[in-house]
């Protein structure tokens, strides 16, 4: 059985959020024009909608139109729009999270060990 690309990353994110006290669900019809997010999560008044990307490359690009759809969905339902990137093959720092504050194309770089030193 072939899985949709990113499916495992979405499930991993749901478990990651649940371990941190969130109620989290994967949206099975995500990626459609009407539902641009892959995972919804809530903990008290903190409500988040995640668009999940998974890559083995050092960066990921999100087109402005994808960002616009995510932000508009979140505004309509009162969620924080967040891009979650799962870095395939990473032993540490497997996830990066980027809260979207404006509608524009986004480029997210894979973090390096230097990014986490004091």
**Residues classed as catalytic:** 32
Round to whole Å and give the CA distance between 32 and 29.
Answer: 7
What sign does the dihedral 66-72-77-83 (CA atoms) show? positive
Which two three-digit tokens encode residue 29?
């019809």
Round to whole Å and give the CA distance between 27 and 48.
Answer: 13
């Amino acid at each position: 059985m072939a899985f949709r690309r990113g499916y495992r990353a979405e499930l991993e994110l749901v478990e990651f959020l649940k371990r941190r006290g969130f109620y989290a669900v994967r949206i099975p019809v995500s990626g459609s024009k009407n539902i641009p997010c892959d995972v919804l999560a809530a903990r008290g008044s903190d409500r988040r909608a995640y668009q999940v990307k998974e890559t083995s490359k050092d960066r990921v690009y999100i087109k402005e139109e994808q960002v616009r759809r995510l932000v508009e969905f979140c505004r309509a339902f009162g969620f924080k729009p967040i891009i979650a990137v799962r870095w395939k093959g990473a032993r540490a720092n497997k996830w990066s999270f980027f809260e979207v504050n404006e509608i524009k194309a986004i480029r997210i770089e894979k973090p390096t060990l230097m990014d986490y030193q004091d």
